[in-house]
Amino acid sequence: MTEPVVEVRHLRKTYGDKVAVDDVSFAVSPGEIFGILGPNGAGKTTAVETLAGMRRADGGTTHVLGHDTQKHPTAVRDVLGVQLQEATLHDKITAGEAIRLFAGFYPAPADPDELLALLDLTDHADKQFRNLSGGQKQRLSIALALVGNPQVAILDELTTGLDPQARRNTWDLIDRVRDTGVTILLVTHFMDEAERLCDRLVVIDGGRIVAEGTPRGLIDGLEGDRTVVLRFADEVVGAAREVLDRLAATHPDVTRVEEMDGVPGEIAVTGTPRVLFAVVPALAEADLVPDDVRTVTRTLEDVFLAVTGRTYVEQDEEPALVTEGDRS
Ligand SMILES: Nc1ncnc2c1ncn2[C@@H]1O[C@H](COP(=O)(O)OP(=O)(O)OP(=O)(O)O)[C@@H](O)[C@H]1O
């Protein structure tokens, strides 16, 4: 087995009486994008800041590339790149200047021009920080985390505050960064982001790990209901509803039939994984042909609901990188 690049064992971190991280363990293999997913306040940032040697743990061990980051926090300075939730740069520094300045802090930095190209910033290299868009600032913050040529990068809430297109572009970029050989620890409260990017992940809630695995494995491991949504033309929707209601009352694989809110003609049928086998013959018998059929895709949100009993609420926040001017 390959040695893990990051290894966290029984990590515990408190702030006074507040237990922010409680018995958290995970290991990250070389070249992985490993996710730490959870709602706001779950303890994600505390866990990675402690792992990076920026905070003292109250218990447990943290290693990066074999270095004990609690005992020797500076040992990983040149191999670990950290992009934290909020960083401040001077309004007037340009993107190119910032990258070259930070490159000077490292013994074997990345080539600033290559980094600008990797992060689609070449055309914005001469723009002052205050004039960069949210997405460009975000990409610059990732570039600054990568400028030391790290083997491991921690990216914390990297798409918070970005519009959907900028988020998707950032996801493509993270794939590109991983393709250069960097192992990535991705902290996020966005379920879709974790599902799209992570090879494996832990879900944290209230400081504890509540689920761990690949996104697909966690979703496929969910027991229980499947939902099929059917859309019917106006003239047949009433008849279809009757057939499906009868099915719910009589068929063991069908538990619920509901009209979808705000979508005329759409009916959702919920039941066991065999629900489709019940629905199709019943509609065929009545010669009721739906205009559209889709299954409701299960996501990590369903995993969160299954393990915590709570619905996951995503809250977007301020852009992650702010100028000094923005702070006033
Ligand atoms: N410096 C601090 N002093 C006291 N409590 C803190 C401190 N930093 C974080 N906390 C508390 O510890 C808990 C975990 O916070 P943390 O920031 O690690 O969570 P998170 O999952 O990263 O959430 P977010 O994405 O909102 O930052 C929260 O209840 C938070 O209020």
Domain with CATH 3.30.70.980 in the chain: 226-297
- Contact indicator for 97, 143 with CB cutoff of 8 Å: no
CA 41 to ligand 1 centroid distance, Å: 5
Ligand 1 atom nearest residue 207's Cα = 14
Over 90: is that where the pLDDT of 264 sits?
A: no
Give residue 65's pLDDT. 94
**pLDDT confidence band for 126 (50 / 70 / 90):** very high
The residue whose CA is least distant from atom 6 of ligand 1 is 15
From the list 1, 102, 10, the residue with the least C-alpha distance to 51 is: 10
Q: Is 250 in the pocket of ligand 1 (CB under 6 A)?
A: no
Give residue 315's pLDDT. 64
Domain with CATH 3.40.50.300 in the chain: 6-220
In this prediction the ipTM stands at: 0.95
DSSP H or E run through 293: strand 292-295
Give residue 316's pLDDT. 57
Span 159-166, mean pLDDT? 80
Over 70: is that where the pLDDT of 86 sits?
A: no
Rg value, the chain, Cα: 24
Ligand 1 atom nearest residue 21's Cα = 14
- Contact indicator for 85, 156 with CB cutoff of 8 Å: yes
Give residue 275's pLDDT. 94
The residue whose CA is least distant from atom 29 of ligand 1 is 41
Tell me how far apart the alpha carbons of residues 174 and 186 are, in angstroms, rounded to a whole number. 10
In the CATH scheme, what architecture does the domain 226-297 have?
2-Layer Sandwich (3.30)
Over 60: is that where the pLDDT of 154 sits?
A: yes
Give residue 268's pLDDT. 93
Q: Is 40 in the pocket of ligand 1 (CB under 6 A)?
A: yes
CATH assignment, 6-220 = 3.40.50.300
- Is the pTM of the predicted complex or chain greater than 0.90? no
Listed in sequence order, the residues at least 6 apart from 15 whose beta carbon sits closer than 8 Å to its beta carbon are none
The residue whose CA is least distant from atom 26 of ligand 1 is 40
Give residue 87's pLDDT. 63
Tell me how far apart the alpha carbons of residues 13 and 199 are, in angstroms, rounded to a whole number. 26
Beta strand pairing call for 59-64 and 208-213 = unpaired
Give residue 119's pLDDT. 83
**pLDDT confidence band for 283 (50 / 70 / 90):** very high
Over 90: is that where the pLDDT of 230 sits?
A: yes
Ligand 1 atom nearest residue 46's Cα = 18
β-sheet bridge partners, residue 61: 9
The residue whose CA is least distant from atom 30 of ligand 1 is 41
**pLDDT confidence band for 318 (50 / 70 / 90):** very low
The residue whose CA is least distant from atom 24 of ligand 1 is 40
Over 60: is that where the pLDDT of 325 sits?
A: no
Q: Is 43 in the pocket of ligand 1 (CB under 6 A)?
A: yes
Tell me how far apart the alpha carbons of residues 63 and 9 are, in angstroms, rounded to a whole number. 9
Q: For all residues of the chain together, what is the average pLDDT?
A: 89
Ligand 1 atom nearest residue 85's Cα = 27
Of 61-75, 90-104, 149-163, the least confident = 149-163
- Contact indicator for 159, 8 with CB cutoff of 8 Å: no
Of 151-165, 199-213, 243-257, the least confident = 151-165
Ligand 1 atom nearest residue 16's Cα = 4
CA 189 to ligand 1 centroid distance, Å: 13
Using DSSP's 3-state secondary structure scheme, residue 134 falls into helix
From the list 143, 117, 111, 118, the residue with the least C-alpha distance to 129 is: 143
Most confident of 24-33, 75-84, 115-124, 176-185: 24-33
CA 35 to ligand 1 centroid distance, Å: 18
CA 81 to ligand 1 centroid distance, Å: 21
**pLDDT confidence band for 57 (50 / 70 / 90):** very high
**pLDDT confidence band for 324 (50 / 70 / 90):** very low
Ligand 1 atom nearest residue 204's Cα = 21
Over 70: is that where the pLDDT of 317 sits?
A: no
Could you tell me where the beta strands, DSSP code E, fall in 134-280? 152-156, 183-188, 200-205, 208-213, 226-231, 254-259, 266-271
